[in-house]
Chain A
């Protein structure tokens, strides 16, 4: 009766499946791929920031031996890309920012392409530029896109309740302006594509780093005027995404144009400098926030006015106001809220999508102001937050329904483990402007944790097959971009089918094989693709157990799959090996293979025109407390420790989720303390890691990570998405900690030593 006990894989520490190859340097990224007969593509960028193109002379470049094609806008169909259709891959009439593509070369070698680019002569007539988004909306401002004469790329208005009434009921009203800077993803794998156009069949194969292959395929078909079914996207292992690969960018259609023109495969890979200049950034924002509360600490209203610097073109990133408004309207219970955002064109580098998607900016504003309001009310900031924090069951003014909500647990856990209240009081009493001071700060966040129904479908498909030996292949639409999704999907399937991790292969990188998925964004993959994979596995299990019932004396529901065997559910007693059952099915009169499909669509809804609706199937929460040391002689802020409490629904892979949270904290730390892209008159000043300061190993703080498991009813095994959440709170928490240490509140980022020192000296930057 001593049947083997098979421990659940859920919550275990499981190394990522792709880790050994990566650690051994064996992973073949797009840089390592070469096709027979391949040419090298290179783009000529304008370096002007706003100018009319008078003429382009490519004759000398075309005459250079080894050059196979030189293209300008005159040679290709005019089909602008991007969410506003405002970005022609090759610019014909005018250029709007320094990265703009004016010509492209395909040559036998990169060196020849580089030489050819230098031979292209472009004549420009400069136009008056705009560098400050506040100037974009002034009367008489230069027009950047003729189709948008007011320079407004997108505008969003949202309201619930009656803010005038809320303000009338307020005992304390606080208003602030926050200024957020420009940073970029710094993926270790730079952008690149190989376009392989087969002239005979008309098929186009793209080797691409995209994180949204199916949307990509559709947009490519539109841009190229092709039948989408002729386009196949294969993703080599991707060296990081973080949102940077959510859009189609000009270099991708350009590579296809070059491949079509030359009838040869064209490889186009960015240099690191190009990656800095020509890949997207996080949105710089100016946020004016006004909030009120009653004496007892109840929030009464909030009005928000946000100005986003869109840069020269519009990417998906211009839709970050969707996410920002969730934080303003629904992180805390606010009875009355009004929100207005404009994303305006400037001649700066253009902004895109980035992990956190507007929430870092919104949380920076709201969580600093919560501290200020608490001080104005004479209430401890932790108590003030707890009093207004959302609870399970709440439906917010924006229509978000928090079926599970660990916010108050996150607050209590982070505060309790850090000793926040006592520390803040003691350090605050000693705050000052000399010597080395310490402070603690707290911030919390709300983010979608069960997908986001923005596209017509937020679903993901899975095809699952078992071979004659019990090996499982999962074909999923969900891309792996380093976040660990293939491991967690394999784990969820193993849990259902009772097989070890070694019995699973995940295929997730070929649109000709894998079923549709909307893409890697909105922290959705574990939740959506996980539910899809579980569904496919359950169908397979049903089929296997039904077959087992025909050859045993048990009913299907009396059996289970464990340890590679079909077992009796009641006591785990082995009935027969799984592989034997699979072979019996296959090589019998039935002649069946176990292959299943599943498409999971989350039970969320599209927002209405007023941006109301329960847009995600679950919501993630977190509170982070930081302790910092401020050297008032230099302005250096040292991050000593982070206490992070996250409502993750349930931990699936403890090692994976720790990695996500640690990485997110460090990304948030970089945003808070040192990463910056100074742009002077439209030109990026520091396109290199020498001067773009990422966090290095000695600066990484001690971390105390707590998981709040709310066991979400819709989540896969109870889990919620967590990909973006850990980066969101850091800047706000550090700002509050600096105030606790020094008494000085800084409303603009990043907290570089000079910015902090200037603020301590009362000197405007």
Chain B
């Protein structure tokens, strides 16, 4: 049974933030995570249902000062199809193509995917390797939180109940940046990741720098692979380094057994797929 007392659909951000100030509102954007969770009884509506979809500034995509800002309401299909995003951060557009189904992608938003904080969220691993920051706003102020510090557990983050995600802000990748995203599920479409891997680095003169590696669905939160990054930073990608990086990754992830895969299998996949990703980088 629902306990919604008020439904609000403000057209301005300030009104939305005022409604959130009491911390007793449920935020509705695309609803593709919220509604199944409500229907399954995993989440209960708070007294205020706050529909943020009429706030135009949350849809903005802007490039400037070496960064791209992607509004929280940008849908997954817009990530895939927006030429500005595809040019600036192609990895994100590529990841969007692996995301659920067209129906879900038409409704689901990047802000919602971040807010849902699923360890298997499909945009989170690319956002991690792209060094994204989460832009948060409340009636009392604004702040930015680096993605790597945003998640605190499955479905949990540092976002306070009175805060709204307004945008994701990403530095524009440098020249000679190579990036990869691999999502592994049991079928090519409509699947939730058993594991996912993101990789980004600058490749100059055969050596890697500014290496960022991230893993999804292998721990309570989408994680940066700091030990793996350390192995790769400054290294030339040869077979020995690839093997060492793959083994390091296998050791640093912290997967669990669940319906989708065992912890053992997830570690094996991280090892084998990271090896494939790095070999692919070399071959290009």
Contacts and interface: CB of A to CB of B under 8 A. Distances in A.
Interface stretch (B6-14, B139-147, B183-191): B183-191
Interface in A719-765: 752-754, 757-758, 761, 763
B259 A678 contact: yes
A693 B1 contact: no
Interface residues of B, number: 22
A633 B276 contact: yes
A1 interface: no
A634 B273 contact: yes
B273 A696 contact: no
B188 A633 contact: no
Interface in B261-278: 261-262, 264-265, 268-269, 272-273, 275-276
Interface stretch (A129-137, A228-236, A321-329, A684-692): A684-692
B192 interface: yes
B220 to A, nearest CB: 20
A698 B272 contact: no
Contacts, number: 44
A634 B259 contact: no
A754 B184 CA distance: 12
A146 interface: no
Contacts of A757: 265, 268
B189 A754 contact: no
A691 B190 CA distance: 10
A633 B273 contact: yes
Interface string B161-204: 00000000000000000000000101111111010000000000
Interface in B66-93: none
Nearest to B190: A696
Contacts of B265: 754, 757-758
Contacts of B189: 696-698
B187 A696 contact: yes
Contacts of A763: 264
Contacts of A758: 265
A699 interface: yes
Interface string A98-117: 00000000000000000100
Q: Which label, helix, strand, loop or mixed, suits the secondary structure of the A interface? A: loop
A585 interface: no
Given A633-B272, A634-B272, A696 B192 contact: no
B275 to A, nearest CB: 8
Contact of B261 (A698, A699, A754): A754
Nearest to A632: B272
Contacts of B268: 757, 761
B190 to A, nearest CB: 6
A752 B186 contact: yes
Contacts of B264: 763
Interface in B222-267: 259-262, 264-265
B188 A699 contact: yes
Given A115-B1, A691-B259, A754-B261, A634 B269 contact: yes
Nearest to A689: B190
Contacts of B261: 754
A752 B194 CA distance: 12
A685 B259 contact: yes
Contacts of B188: 696, 698-699
A763 B263 CA distance: 14
A699 B184 contact: no
A227 B83 CA distance: 70
A758 B194 CA distance: 15
Interface centre among A634, A674, A678, A697 (most CB of B within 10 A): A634
A231 to B, nearest CB: 36
A758 B265 CA distance: 8
Contact of A686 (B184, B194, B259): B259
Nearest to B271: A633
Given A634-B269, A634-B273, A758-B265, A690 B186 contact: no
A403 B188 CA distance: 45
Nearest to B101: A696
Nearest to B266: A754
Contacts of B192: 690-691
A643 B118 CA distance: 42
B187 A693 contact: yes
Nearest to A680: B259
A752 B191 CA distance: 14
Nearest to B36: A690
A718 B10 CA distance: 69
B4 to A, nearest CB: 14
Nearest to B192: A690
Interface in B24-69: none
A359 to B, nearest CB: 26
Nearest to B191: A693
Contacts of B190: 696
Given A690-B192, A754-B265, A674 B276 contact: no
Given A633-B276, A634-B269, A634-B272, A753 B259 contact: no
Nearest to B272: A633
B1 A674 contact: no
B40 to A, nearest CB: 9
A698 B194 CA distance: 19
Contact of A634 (B1, B184, B187): B184
Nearest to B276: A633
A52 to B, nearest CB: 27
A699 B259 contact: no
Contacts of B275: 633
B272 A674 contact: no
A115 B1 CA distance: 8
Nearest to B269: A634
A733 B194 CA distance: 27
B186 A753 contact: yes
Interface string A674-712: 100010000001100011010111110000000000000
A754 B186 CA distance: 9
A698 B188 CA distance: 7
Nearest to A685: B259
Nearest to A696: B189
B5 to A, nearest CB: 18
B262 A754 contact: yes
Contacts of A691: 192, 259-260
Nearest to B258: A685
A62 B260 CA distance: 42
* Most chain A beta carbons < 10 A, residue from B192, B262, B268, B273: B268
A161 B269 CA distance: 51
A685 B184 CA distance: 21
A693 B276 CA distance: 26
A661 to B, nearest CB: 22
A673 to B, nearest CB: 9
A696 B185 CA distance: 13
Contacts of A678: 259
A371 B181 CA distance: 40
A115 B2 CA distance: 11
B97 to A, nearest CB: 12
Contacts of B260: 691
A45 B190 CA distance: 30
A698 B186 CA distance: 12
B112 to A, nearest CB: 17
24 contacts: A633-B273, A633-B275, A633-B276, A634-B269, A674-B186, A690-B192, A691-B259, A693-B187, A693-B191, A695-B187, A696-B187, A696-B189, A696-B190, A698-B187, A698-B188, A699-B187, A752-B186, A753-B186, A753-B194, A754-B261, A754-B262, A757-B268, A758-B265, A761-B268
Interface of B: 1, 184, 186-192, 194, 259-262, 264-265, 268-269, 272-273, 275-276
Interface of A: 115, 633-634, 636, 674, 678, 685-686, 690-691, 693, 695-699, 752-754, 757-758, 761, 763
Given A633-B272, A634-B269, A698-B188, 9 more contacts: A634-B273, A691-B192, A698-B189, A699-B187, A753-B186, A753-B194, A754-B261, A757-B265, A757-B268
> Ordered nearest first, which 4 A-B pairs have the shortest CB separation?
A633-B272, A754-B265, A698-B188, A696-B189
